[in-house]
Structure 1
Amino acid sequence: MDEPVRTYIYHVAMLVFSSLGILINLATVCAILLNSALRREQHIFTFSLALADFASAVAMFITNLNDFPESPFQIEEPSWIVCLFTTGLVISILSTLAIAFERLIILRIDALGSRRIVTGRRSVAVCMVIWIIVPAIYFFLLGFNAALSDILLYFISPCITIASLFITAICYILIYKKIAMISENVGLNDAALERRAKNSKKILVTFALVVASTSACWIIMCCVLVVEYLSFIYYQLELETLWFRVLADIGNVLVSINGILNPVIIWLRLTVFRTQLRTCFERLRCRKAHESQSSSRVTLDSTTVTTNPSAGSTINITMDDIKAN
């Protein structure tokens, strides 16, 4: 395949996937903010995850629009876009890790003690700290020290991603063992506890799928960034071979797909999200049916008036006669 054709196909795919990521994650953010059934403390970190994926998708869309062949849209200083993308990535990974810690604490500590450690206010505080500290570090280094910013963007961030995903996987293994233990010890009369264990297992599988998809989508890109950075630092060598560029393109495409998979898994797996999605479709269907009936009624009424202009006066006279009698 010729290089211009490969570049064109790559950027088209990236624009399509990043656009879908923007739309789906924005819909998730708006749904959680505007829907009382979703605006609960257990969805705070899910909101942070969707918002971070939205920011990454926006940065990815702008980058590929800027690099598109013969594109009139050009950014003079694209480094801030790379910084925005990496910031969204790190916050997304940290939000996924926070969800795992939250489930682990609820299952192993809050379930045993009388005092709750995980509360809505504390979850919001953790999200605010993450959203303040992470962008501050990335954009501060970008503005004051380009060398340290490159180390953070291209070496430390991939290492943080891999380490966070590894810790998250360990948390879910511990959670799964605890849920399995609870399920084994459930008696015949513990119906409520059994339902709670099944619900916890379903939530566990949902976010385990998020971690698995994130790991599968990010492992290639993290390795590419680390290898590319180390080869440039130690050997002053830029890897421009065709196979490495194709591997980097595959990693970028998988990263853009990951921004779509996270909200899709959440919407399809979690019962409350799936219920709200079904409700939205039912409301939309009812609204379309109502509009169709209204238009049909208006058409029928206009046809009746046109074909029989005296019908209205006849009805009025009849009603007046009835009242008079």
Structure 2
Amino acid sequence: MAFVYTSLVHWVTPLSLSVFGVILNLLSMGAILSFGALRKTKNIFIFHLSFCDFVASLSIMMTSIKFITQWEFPVSIFQLLFLVALMMSLLTTLAIAIERFIIFYLDPFGNRKIITPFRTILAFSVTWVFVGGLFYIMGSRFKERLYLLGKVILSSTILIITVVTVSLYKIIYQKITSASTSLGASETFLQRRFKLHQKIIVTFSLVVGTTGLCWLPVTVTEFLKGFPQLNDKAWYIVLERVFFGILCSNQFLNPIIVWSRLTEFRDTLKVCRRGDQAGSGSKSTGQNTRSVSANVPVNNMSRDNPNFIASP
């Protein structure tokens, strides 16, 4: 009975949260693959973020099932996947910042084709192999310290990635704001483009912020693990489970943030709600509509800009 009670207190909440994360991220990936309006180069980053959160949630779910049911299967592989997936999720938010930075400063018109679907997928694949190999080597050489070392590395990496990512987002946001204010009132189309850029930056700033906030409480309990006399205290056990539950919630918060803030994703939800088929256009309302792309150069008046249309 004591084991059942402990299992319920310790693992049912993480299991419930992780199941929610698995479902939401699976739906998010499926929507990006299914709807033509979402199959864009920039959404590869969102797809990969969902994939990372899906793997992390699945790992927590399987670990929770292991401890609740005492089902015999190796749980270390899921602990390893969780650490790798969380690291890759953080690196994805950094990659999004770098992608926005390249669009604005290095390849504003896309002529140099620095960012392509193939290069993006290749970069993520290589990073998965590198990060996974690094954690695997750590686990094979320091098995008893894998969990602790993983948390130390993740905590340090979260701090570094957060600082770098936020710095890039701040630079880009300031550049967007500056370029937007320099436009005339008649440049409504370019104004919409800049607002879309701002929304993307703010959206993933929220993703970075929630990731940091969800991980920060766990670093406290990990630090307290260094004091064995505290580990058996009831308040510490409760605190550790609550903080771990907060960390588990991060995996389903990311898709909620993305789908609630980005217009193209909200429009897809409206299509699903109406029961329309993917790729079908909206009914004509007598008004001219125009797609707004986020790939807009800082120098919006340049004649090299294929999307720029001079005012009459």
Interval of TM-score (by shorter of Structure 1 and Structure 2):
0.7 to 0.9
CA spacing shift, 1:154–1:119, aligned 2, 3 Å = same
1:17 aligns with 2:14: no
- Aligned-pair identity in percent equals 31
Choose which of 114, 132, 136 in structure 2 pairs with 1:139. Answer: 136
The one-letter code sitting in structure 1 at the alignment partner of 2:196 is: N
- Please give the alpha-carbon distance, in whole angstroms, between the structure 2 residues aligned to 1:3 and 1:174: 52
Q: State which of 127, 150, 154 in structure 2 corresponds to 1:130.
A: 127
Alignment: residue pair count: 276
How far off its partner does 1:201 sit? 0.9
* Alpha carbons 1:154, 1:226 under 8 Å: kept: no
Change (3 A) 1:240 1:172: farther
- Which residue is equivalent to 1:73? 71
Higher helix share: 1
Q: CA RMSD in A?
A: 2.5
- Which of 250, 258, 263 is equivalent to 1:271? 263
Which is worse superposed, 218-227 or 49-58? 218-227
Alpha-carbon distance, 1:173 to partner: 1.3
* Aligned with residue 219 of structure 1, among 216, 234, 237: 216
Q: Could you list the runs of 5+ residues in structure 2 that have no partner in the other structure?
A: 278-312
Return closer, same or farther for 1:227/1:178 CA change in 2, 3 Å cut-off. farther
From 253, 261, 264, the counterpart of 1:261: 253
State the Cα deviation string for residues 220-275 of structure 1 (Å, max 9, x = none): 113333453xx27xxx7673323322222122111111111101111111111111
Task: Give the partner amino acid of 1:35.
Answer: F
Q: Which moved more, 1:92-101 or 1:133-142?
A: 133-142
Structure 2 residue matching 1:110: 3-state secondary structure: coil
Asked whether 1:246 is paired with 2:267, we answer no
Q: Tell me which of the two structures has the higher relative contact order, counting C-alpha pairs closer than 8 angstroms and 6 or more residues apart.
A: 2
Matched, 1:26 2:26: yes
Please list, as runs of the form range in 1=range in 2, the aligned pairs for 1:1-325 lying within 5 A after superposition: 5=5, 8-68=8-68, 71-75=69-73, 77-111=74-108, 115-146=112-143, 149-150=146-147, 152-228=149-225, 231=226, 239-283=231-275
TM-superposed CA distance for 1:4, in Å, is 6.8
In structure 1, what residue type is equivalent to 2:53?
D
Letter in 1 for 2:67: D
Q: Which residue of 2 aligns with 1:313?
A: none
Structure exhibiting the larger radius of gyration computed from Cα positions: 1
Do the aligned residues in 2 keep the contact of 1:108 with 1:178 (CA within 8 Å)? no
> Are 1:162 and 1:219, in contact at CA under 8 Å, matched by a contact in 2?
no
Tell me the amino acid that sits aligned with residue 20 of structure 2.
Answer: L
Instruction: Measure, in 2, the Cα distance between the counterparts of 1:156 and 1:199.
Output: 35
- Structure 2: distance between partners of 1:150 and 1:40: 37
